[in-house]
């Protein structure tokens, strides 16, 4: 079974929130929120919002750690952003399967999209 998020999925406890969709994949249409010191880990199936090097659609509000294994494991997979990404605080992380920063090579933010670093340097 695939997972289409059409509301909010919130990681708000010390135990990591594991999301494991089938080969049908995972689509974030609205909001993924990871609270401070918490973890959301998405594994299995493709993230349909990510294609090539572009993250398209959805809101990603991260104060803790958001790990999307489907991005890969080289770091810097998200080169073009067409979503809404907020990293809140120095300990916030948006990482890939190897724990590397997925935004390390971010070069372009599309019209009507946002990337906010709060206290954290994204570039």
pLDDT tens string 19-73: 999 999 999 999 999 999 999 999 988 999 999 999 999 999 999 999 999 999 9
> Model-level pTM greater than 0.95?
no
Give the 3-state secondary structure of residue 69.
helix
Classify strands 26-28 and 3-5 as parallel, antiparallel or unpaired: parallel
The DSSP bridge partners found for residue 55 are: 50, 81
The answer to whether 49 and 56 are in contact (CB under 8 A) is yes
Q: Considering only CA atoms, which of 88, 102, 83, 114 is closest in space to residue 42?
A: 102
């Amino acid at each position: 079974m695939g997972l289409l998020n059409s509301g909010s999925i919130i990681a708000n406890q010390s135990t990591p929130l594991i999301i494991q969709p089938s080969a049908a994949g995972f689509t974030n249409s609205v909001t993924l929120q990871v609270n401070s010191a918490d973890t959301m880990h998405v594994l299995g199936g493709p993230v349909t919002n990510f294609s090539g090097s572009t993250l398209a659609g959805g809101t990603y509000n991260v104060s803790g750690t958001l790990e999307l294994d489907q991005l890969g494991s080289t770091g810097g997979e998200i080169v073009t952003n067409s979503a809404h990404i907020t990293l809140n605080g120095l300990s916030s992380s948006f990482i890939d399967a190897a724990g590397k920063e997925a935004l390390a090579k971010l070069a372009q933010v599309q019209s009507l999209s946002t990337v906010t670093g709060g206290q954290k340097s994204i570039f």
